[in-house]
Structure 1
Amino acid sequence: MNELGRLEDLPQDYRDALKAQNLVPLWPSLRAVLPPGKPRPQTRATAWSYQALRPLLLQAGELTPIEKAERRVLVLANPGHGLEKMQASAAMYLGMQLLLPGEWAPSHRHTPNAVRMIVEGEGAYTTVDGEKCPMSRGDLILTPTGLWHEHGHDGDQPVVWLDVLDLPLVYYMEASYHVDGPRQAVKPGHGERTHARGGLLPTPVFERSSKAYPMLRYPWVEARAALLALADDQPALEAVQLTYTNPATGGHAENILGFYALMLRPGQTLALPARSPASVFHVIEGALEVQVEDPHAPQHFQLAEADTCCAPGYTPITLINPRADAPAFVFMADESPLHQKLGVYEVR
């Protein structure tokens, strides 16, 4: 293939004339935006130790009152994108959020979709669109685009959760904003109770529900039991994995990012194929080794409970449960729904 011309090959007066008209020659940058064979992700394989960041998060609670922070968060930033961009991958934002006893994070709504994976503590809650969702370790709580939400804490110990948002994508589209609101009135009803039994959905005889997201809280106790039942029912199943779904549509729980619960049997090794979307792995219970064939630099992470790592797309990943006496339970997030909607989803 012939080498493309460089910008420096063009006369300076020609370059100045282009710049004056807000014009840019494509050919010097063509291979950067359309590389041969496969993309060149900026996302790097990166891991964050919870035991290392936890003291810093608690110190943030001492340094900055909730009234000044509104949301007290340490962002898990990927160095491949630059720490100042505060993103874990092209479309995913991660943050560890702290709420102390007696605190209340005021109500607001915003255009990015968000979920909360509860890491530690009891007694806190998120109120989403009037539904009060209690927080327990391993629970997944949705705060979809445009829905009012606020956080409160009636317990006596710090509560921490992992935020996952599609903020980088929404910000890139110049569609990111928030609106403050008054404290919400709690409405009756709990979606996780209404949709607690697999294969059974409420029947709208007289009036169809207007809720686009009828289930906002996915209790870990239910997800864990479902994983154990699946593993027991299908002992030859290689990947014991469940997808968090919208019970009304059968699709993903939210419309941009995908969320999953995975169980690795004691001592199990699971080789995942190279897929186009970036992925996030967060250990709920047990331990996990993650081998990422990152083209920049292959990585081998040893994760303990509450640790998190990110892997770029188009990259083979191997997951290993190093413990021979206990399963490992992992929360996963990825960009699959976005890639599928755009028609760029690939498995290699």
Structure 2
Amino acid sequence: MSTTAANEAKDREQLHKKFAEMGLRGYWQMRHETERMQPKLWRWKEIYPVLMETTEVIRIGPDAFRRNVGLQTGSKTLSMGFQIVLPGETAAAHRHANTALRFVVKGSGAYTTSNGEPMVMELGDLLIQPNWVWHDHVNNSKEPIIWIDALDAGVVSFLDASGFREEWAEGKQQPLTKTNGASRRLYGPARQPKVEYNGAAGVPYHYKWGEALQALKELADQGIDDPYDGLFIEYKNPVDGGHTFLTMTCHIQMLQPGQETRFHRHTGTVLYHTVQGRGVTIVDKNSPVEMQWDEHDSFSLPAWRWHAHKNLSQTEPAILFSVTDRPLLKMTGLDREENG
């Protein structure tokens, strides 16, 4: 090393030492993350026995506030997992800065109370609780109930807002001040001119599976088919008609028998759950990764990866539920999409 080069290296080292002491960092010192989220598949036949084993080991209340088992997706923005409540069990009321959704995958008849309304959960229903909405769970049915929990946990944590949380002060459960279906009556198409959010980021709402399924069938009857996602609908926000939430949105899509979609890619992470049917999602064109899914399997799709779906049945449709963080990308002008 020349004398000049040695002096430059020494000067740089001394400068960086001063930076460190003063809490500074030069642009040239920044290290970009190289670890990327990867596509991953979770098979229901493997995780379901473990979920039920969890009910024998972990008690709601004494052992955990919620019996939630998360999928390690690698997403920096979203979390997704399964919550299990056995017959006769309750989970105490609270509210928090995270926005949350529940999509019922097994069982029926339990209810989630959202701001005083007991939303009776049936298979395939979607319940949304925007941040700062009170909610608790009661299973007064005769069978275990399992639903998907998805939250914008990574976003809220990054923004240092996850500390905002309250427990219900007057016992474990909220009083039932409304009847089942109140949110659908209050916030449906015919509603009061002005909706009060009462400090929350939106209103709780209960989307019924039967209506979503009928919407998919109507698209099929009308021949309205997306070449990249099949029969594809979004769970629209009940008040403003936008995305389900500010930070994430939910879709349901149907692939007709034998249907294979075209490749495309877009920004935003997508987390999927198979409602019915069997198929394969192919990720990447070069060195493709094939995730072959069956009923109740879940899988993850990282941002900006080429992907296409195929229904492997020639006689039955396949249906996928998904949640994505793309509203954040759209809000900040970072959303991109490319068709293959």
Same fold (TM over 0.5): yes
Q: CA deviation at 1:299?
A: 1.9
CA–CA separation in structure 1 for the residues paired with 2:29 and 2:196: 51
Q: CA deviation at 1:60?
A: 1.2
Give the AA of the match of 1:69.
A
Q: CA deviation at 1:235?
A: 5.9
When the two structures are aligned, how many residues end up with a matched partner? 319
Residue 167 of structure 2: aligned partner: 180
CA–CA separation in structure 1 for the residues paired with 2:123 and 2:299: 18
Q: CA deviation at 1:252?
A: 1.2
Give the AA of the match of 1:155.
S
CA contact (8 A) 1:277 1:314 kept: yes
Alignment of 1:227-242 (within 5 A): 227-234=216-223, 238=227, 239-242=230-233
Give the AA of the match of 1:120.
K
Residue 311 of structure 2: aligned partner: 321
Alignment of 1:44-123 (within 5 A): 44-67=38-61, 68-78=63-73, 81=74, 89-123=75-109
CA–CA separation in structure 2 for the residues paired with 1:59 and 1:236: 41
* Pairing partner for 1:262 from 253, 259, 264: 253
CA contact (8 A) 1:192 1:219 kept: no
CA–CA separation in structure 2 for the residues paired with 1:225 and 1:231: 10
Give the AA of the match of 2:190.
P
- Is 1:168 matched with 2:154? yes
- Is 1:293 matched with 2:284? yes
* Pairing partner for 1:124 from 97, 110, 127: 110
- Is 1:149 matched with 2:150? no
- Is 1:305 matched with 2:292? no
- Is 1:42 matched with 2:36? yes
Please give the secondary structure, in 2, of the residue aligned with 1:326: coil
Q: CA deviation at 1:213?
A: 4.3
Give the AA of the match of 2:115.
D
Q: Encode CA deviations 1:41-100: one digit per residue, 9 max, x unaligned.
A: 72211111122111111111111111121101111012xx4xxxxxxx121101111111
Give the AA of the match of 2:313.
R
Please give the secondary structure, in 1, of the residue aligned with 2:17: helix
Residue 279 of structure 1: aligned partner: 270
CA–CA separation in structure 1 for the residues paired with 2:225 and 2:47: 38
Q: 1:72 to 1:215 in 2, by over 3 A?
A: closer
Please give the secondary structure, in 2, of the residue aligned with 1:66: coil
Q: Encode CA deviations 1:88-126: one digit per residue, 9 max, x unaligned.
A: x12110111111110000000010101011110122111
Q: CA deviation at 1:25?
A: 2.2
Q: Encode CA deviations 1:163-201: one digit per residue, 9 max, x unaligned.
A: 1100001001100132111421212352564289xxx72
Flag structure 2 segments of 5+ consecutive residues without an equivalent.
1-7
Q: CA deviation at 1:305?
A: 1.1
Fraction of identical pairs, as percent? 28
- Is 1:252 matched with 2:243? yes
Q: CA deviation at 1:298?
A: 3.8
Q: 1:195 to 1:268 in 2, by over 3 A?
A: farther
Give the AA of the match of 1:292.
V
Give the AA of the match of 1:290.
T
CA contact (8 A) 1:271 1:316 kept: no
Residue 211 of structure 2: aligned partner: 222
Q: RMSD over aligned Cα, in angstroms?
A: 2.3
CA–CA separation in structure 1 for the residues paired with 2:9 and 2:81: 45
CA contact (8 A) 2:67 2:84 kept: yes
Q: Encode CA deviations 1:270-301: one digit per residue, 9 max, x unaligned.
A: 12421011111111111121111198x74211
Q: CA deviation at 1:18?
A: 2.2
Q: 1:263 to 1:191 in 2, by over 3 A?
A: farther
Alignment of 1:193-212 (within 5 A): 193-194=184-185, 201-204=189-192, 208-211=194-197
Q: CA deviation at 1:325?
A: 0.7
Tell me the TM-score normalized by structure 1.
0.85
Tell me the TM-score normalized by structure 2.
0.87
Q: CA deviation at 1:136?
A: 1.5
CA–CA separation in structure 2 for the residues paired with 1:292 and 1:298: 5
CA contact (8 A) 1:269 1:318 kept: yes
Flag structure 1 segments of 5+ consecutive residues without an equivalent.
1-7, 34-39, 82-88
CA contact (8 A) 2:225 2:231 kept: no
Give the AA of the match of 1:319.
H
